[in-house]
Structure 1
Amino acid sequence: MAEKDLTEKYLESFSDVFADIHNVLLFQEELIREEELEDGPTESTYKAEEGNVRNQFRDTSKYYRNSVYKLALLGIENESKIEKDIPIRIMGYDYTAYRSQIDSEDNRRYPVITTVLNFSDTEWKSPMSLYDILDIPKKLQPYVNDYKIHVFNIAFLTKETRDKFKSDFKIVADFFAEKRLGIYNPEKHKEKIKHVEAVLNMIQVFTNDTTYDKIEAGIIERAKTGEVITMCTFAEEMTNKGIAIGEARGIEIGEARGIAQNKINVARNLLDILSDEVIAEKVELDIEVVRSLRS
């Protein structure tokens, strides 16, 4: 989980990606510009009621500001599974941000807005507020303040929404959405990847495919030469590396079975990145054989 958080934070730390996420998902308009953002705190320190100093960590945060004032503190929290108590956790993050304003010498106050990105294949429908997790007697409910959160299911975003992204987050959103549907084909995604290492690392962690580790150095070197890197480049390197791995494993089980086993090994290496149809075409296997590898 910690490794996933790190890769998510890495990509979102780029201001163009951070602004893009908020403009498309939260504000649904071009409200924030990249140059209006500056890095915010990921660790908040505050004094608890008993007098002890405590701290909390959030995934990514940036100040949205004009030339004079901070207009807001925007935060992103990344989740890989549904977390029941997250409204309380978000309350904690937001409170410490407000508390730091109280403790500062500046008398001006600005809002704190936190967005939750769900990267799992399970649609997040609840909890979406404090009311969703509290067992409140009906007579007490009018006296209990609610606390709502903003959650977006990345793997369930429509194509119409995904096409609005202008940063590398479109590449990531397309990957998660189409991978969930089993239709992902990198040959249909020829967009240039700007933050190559960050995108590569995020996908590697979420697919648990160690082949990404093997292609990372080569991909980064190609990017340094000025080559345009796309998801097709990833797939090409994955296929080539998969063939090499398959050949090495094939030798171990004997030349007679080696060719067939090579193809099976290559196909297995590609299950988390390509659709069954694309794998069957690239590796020259029957589609039913590829589908059987998923069972």
Structure 2
Amino acid sequence: MNRKKQKLKPDVVLKNYWNGNAEFADLFNAVLFDGKQIIQPEDLESDDTDVSTIQEHEDLADSLILFRDTIKICKKSEKSGVQFVLLGMEHQEHIHYAMPMRVMGMDYSLYKKQYDSNARKYKTSEGMTADEFLSHMKKDDKFTPVITVVVYYGKDEWDGAKSLHELLALPDEWAEYVNDYKMLLVEARKSNLVFRNVNNRHLFGLLEILLDQGQTANEIKKKAIAYADVNDIETCVAMAAAGAANCKIDYQMLSKKEGVNMGTVFEELAKENKELGKIEGKAEGIIMTCLELEVSKDDIIQKLKEKLNVSEKQAQEYYTTFAK
């Protein structure tokens, strides 16, 4: 029977992993409370990741379309003393040099969404002062706090800003008067966080190996396989690690019935790279031959699409790479 191999998209597979309340709560406890179990999994509920809102200014209004990667509501808990809090998580495969501003915008959207929902209660001025009615909000109304954690899965050290102030050309004498907005960043390559959840420990243990720039591919492979052999790795952890590493894997080989084998991940990645190398070799040959015959760029792109069965974008990338 043929087994279907698909490429795990990091964003999708990581969203799926962090949708687990136990893993999600453990991450936020590690980031916010040094591993103390303040947030309990049973206190979490998934929330709508669509935080789109309307920005209004005098007689103008614009739609702001935004989606969060993962949002959970931490409900009031007598056991942990936690009040209602909105916890958001964003996944980054690459460094985004405006990330603090993006986080600020996404958090604002959640507050604006709460404000709009609250304002709908007040259709008349009954029971409200003039200022309250004008504000569409009573003096004692309160919103739910928003906390966002950014998890970065890249191999390079994060060298971007971690706060709004770092994005500004801000003289020291003005700094105290300009509001800052700090970003909570977790680098999967080396987090140093205290995890109580075994899946999180294994996920970040594998990612620290897979994202190590100081090791050769073969050394990384041996370490990851050795780590998986020693530890009891859950399927969801192996898939999340493989997704972050952009591997193609066989889902059936990673099923619980057959067991988790990190060697499979590397074997499939090696096969993928070998096949990619063959295709690139063919692409280079086609391009070189066509250039010698003075074939136009558009015709070369078309020939690449037909001969290699690739997209327009991929054909363009091959042309850019080899038509030197």
TM-score bucket (shorter structure): 0.5 to 0.7
Q: Does 1:5 align with 2:11?
A: yes
Specify which of 179, 183, 197 is matched with residue 149 of structure 1.
183
Q: Which structure carries more helix by proportion?
A: 1
Distance 1:74 1:130 in 2: 20
Q: Deviations over 1:14-56 (max 9, x none)?
A: 1111011111233211111110000022111211123233321
Distance 2:184 2:50 in 1: 21
Q: Greater CA deviation, 67-76 or 168-177?
A: 67-76
Higher relative contact order (CA 8 A, sep 6+): 2
Distance 2:175 2:157 in 1: 27
Q: Deviations over 1:46-90 (max 9, x none)?
A: 111232333211111100012699610001111122211011100
Over 3 Å counting, the alpha-carbon distance change for 1:15 and 1:52 in structure 2 is same
* Kept in 2: contact 1:65–1:71 (CA 8 A): yes
Q: Does 1:199 align with 2:237?
A: yes
Q: Where in structure 1 are there 5+ consecutive unaligned residues? A: 250-295
* TM-score, normalisation: structure 2: 0.62
| 2:16 partner SS | helix
Aligned length: 230
Counterpart residue number, 1:173: 204
Over 3 Å counting, the alpha-carbon distance change for 1:239 and 1:74 in structure 2 is closer
Q: Give percent identity, aligned residues only.
A: 25
Counterpart residue number, 2:75: 65
Distance 2:102 2:147 in 1: 13
Distance 2:266 2:97 in 1: 40
Report 1:1-295 matches (<5 A).
3-28=9-34, 29-49=36-56, 50-66=60-76, 71-105=84-118, 107-158=141-192, 161=193, 164-179=195-210, 180=212, 182=215, 184-189=223-228, 190-194=230-234, 196=235, 198-210=236-248, 212=249, 215-220=250-255, 223=256, 225=257, 229-230=259-260, 233-235=261-263, 237-238=264-265
Q: Where in structure 2 are there 5+ consecutive unaligned residues? A: 1-7, 122-140, 276-324
* Kept in 2: contact 1:16–1:167 (CA 8 A): no
Distance 1:13 1:127 in 2: 27
Distance 1:178 1:240 in 2: 17
Distance 1:172 1:46 in 2: 35
* TM-score, normalisation: structure 1: 0.68
Q: CA RMSD in A?
A: 3.0
TM superposition shift of 1:135: 1.1
